[in-house]
Structure 1
Amino acid sequence: MKTKRKVEIAVISDVHLGTYGCNAIQLLTYLNSINPRKLILNGDIIDVWQFSKRYFPKSHLKVIKKIMDFAANGVEVIYITGNHDEMLRKFSDTSIGNISIVDKLVLNLDGKKAWFFHGDVFDISVQNAKWIAKLGGYGYDLLILLNRFTNWFLEKLGRERYSLSKKIKDSVKGAVKFIDDYEKVITDLAIENGYDYVVCGHIHQPKMEFRENKNGKTMYLNSGDWIENFTALEYQFKRWKIYNYNNDKLSPFFADEQIKEMELKDLIAAITIVDKKQK
């Protein structure tokens, strides 16, 4: 039996369960490699915008089951709402057992203040033109599906995987400017309010760096996503780090044997029936 890494806090975001772009198996492998005290789901975990009854595979249900198992076993699970799962905002500030739903979160980490939120409130395209943002979301998902086919073909040829959407985003000056503006607004506000760390997601760009202006400094952290980057944030021993699944040199973990062997109907039953430990 492999030893799981103890982590004080693990942060994941932008999983987009229910879409073709979601890499649920890799995420499940990661979740089964850690033993966190606190798991923060920083928005867009379930993609309600693009949810379809025709596509919600077993691996996606396994991720939900694993998160519920964490909570049942004493892990504090905090679900911070995002724009793709905004329907959950009507349940903000409610808790069921060890699972709580919030729009934002402030934690004291070893004497330093950390501010967590998804980040869509700083995205003008989401706030002022939601239908355009949703259309963009469908286009992005289609691009990811095309990219999956391309990478399947490349892997058959023994070639390196290629990210179409990342290449497009990185080559478009407007997208680069948007990311820079997004990060600046967030970090300026964090500095103004005295936060030592500001932790978000939304733009699918993992990053950890100090930002400074004339009023002070803060550490900007972005957990990235499980569509292209396969990244998470981890806090342990008073330090943050970016976990990157593709660069992990440890022996891979697979799903817990119990979950791995469960039939689809049993998975659904396990998710829809509240565990007695959570009552």
Structure 2
Amino acid sequence: MGSDSIGEESPERRFRTLFISDVHLGARGSQAERLLDFLRTHDADTIYLVGDIVDGWALKSSWHWPQSHNDFVQKMLRKARKGAKVVYVPGNHDEFLRNYYGTHFGGIDVVENIVHEGADGKRYLVIHGDIFDLVVQNARWLAHLGDTAYDLAIRINRFVNMFRRWFGAPYWSLSQWAKLKVKNAVNYIGAFEQTLAAEARRHGADGVICGHIHYATIRDEHGIRYMNCGDWVESCTALVEHEDGRFEIITWTEPLRKVAPVASMTARAA
């Protein structure tokens, strides 16, 4: 067991529900240490793991599993044992778990998708979202190529942020900047959001909670609330539901344990 499994700290902030996606355990870009730091002070009665928690693609190419990755798995299993409801919705990088829908691993439920009922009674479809990504579904080789390019961007980003830390500048995300600046990326995000909103509507839900594109946001899309958890490779974001039904995206990118979380976006379920 890792150091994180010795004793359980009392969380400073407790929520009704916590949504985490795209941790990519097994990939060198995963910032599992920051996620563990976040979880030391944030907890919830229900935790949804919204896909790509384990990166099977990365593990196939080269084995990388440091102690922090094991510590996160142990923490989730421990939370489930202590009574938390933990639900795992696999994504494309952990698609090997899609053979186990309806089963339980250490108290963690594995499901294809699930409808979460908010504190105010509104219903939210929880789904990773990759099945609505035509690149992943129809051109797997291109998706892997894009994944390799993304890994390169992560390495560059680490180098840039090392210098930014030396000069006291805040964290900066190369891929997030590109997503906002490159027209094709902006169009892709917009189409993805619209498609997921339509799927939520098809399920008779009031909103959708997803991951996959590593872009955290809360917005309304034609009467449907679209919420994306973001990721723990670059943006280091989690989606939380407060007891009164408010949803909030919490960003955790600053040096570990040195600053309070920055609430990047808050929304009341409407």
Using structure 2 for the length normalisation, give the TM-score: 0.85
> Which residue number in structure 1 is paired with residue 245 of structure 2?
238
> Which residue number in structure 2 is paired with residue 17 of structure 1?
25
Structure 2 residue matching 1:203: 3-state secondary structure: coil
Select the residue among 179, 202, 206 that pairs with 2:189.
179
Give the number of the structure whose alpha-carbon radius of gyration is greater. 1
Give 1:108 deviation, angstroms: 2.5
Select the residue among 79, 84, 88 that pairs with 1:70.
79
Residue type of the alignment partner of 2:195:
V
> Which residue number in structure 1 is paired with residue 89 of structure 2?
80
Unaligned runs of 5+ in 1: 254-279
Pair 1:57-2:66 in alignment: yes
Indicate if the aligned counterparts of 1:11 and 1:42 stay in contact, CA closer than 8 A: yes
Structure 1 segments (4+ residues) deviating >4 Å: 250-253
My pick for the range that moved more, 10-19 or 157-166, is 157-166
My pick for the range that moved more, 232-241 or 45-54, is 45-54
Indicate if the aligned counterparts of 2:30 and 2:233 stay in contact, CA closer than 8 A: yes
Relative contact order: is structure 1 or structure 2 higher (C-alpha 8 Å, sep ≥ 6)?
1
Structure 1 residue matching 2:58: 3-state secondary structure: coil
> Which residue number in structure 2 is paired with residue 162 of structure 1?
172
Equivalenced residue count is: 248
Distance 1:147 1:3, change over 3 A: closer
Distance 1:62 1:97, change over 3 A: closer
Distance 1:158 1:174, change over 3 A: same
> Which residue number in structure 2 is paired with residue 256 of structure 1?
none
Q: Percent identity?
A: 38
Give 1:50 deviation, angstroms: 1.0
Distance 1:211 1:15, change over 3 A: same
Give 1:60 deviation, angstroms: 1.4
Indicate if the aligned counterparts of 1:4 and 1:33 stay in contact, CA closer than 8 A: yes
Using structure 1 for the length normalisation, give the TM-score: 0.82
Distance in 1 between the 2:97 and 2:10 partners? Answer: 35
Distance in 2 between the 1:24 and 1:189 partners? Answer: 31
Give 1:54 deviation, angstroms: 4.0
Give 1:89 deviation, angstroms: 0.3
Distance in 2 between the 1:8 and 1:124 partners? Answer: 34
Distance 1:162 1:234, change over 3 A: closer
Distance in 2 between the 1:141 and 1:48 partners? Answer: 15
> Which residue number in structure 2 is paired with residue 265 of structure 1?
none
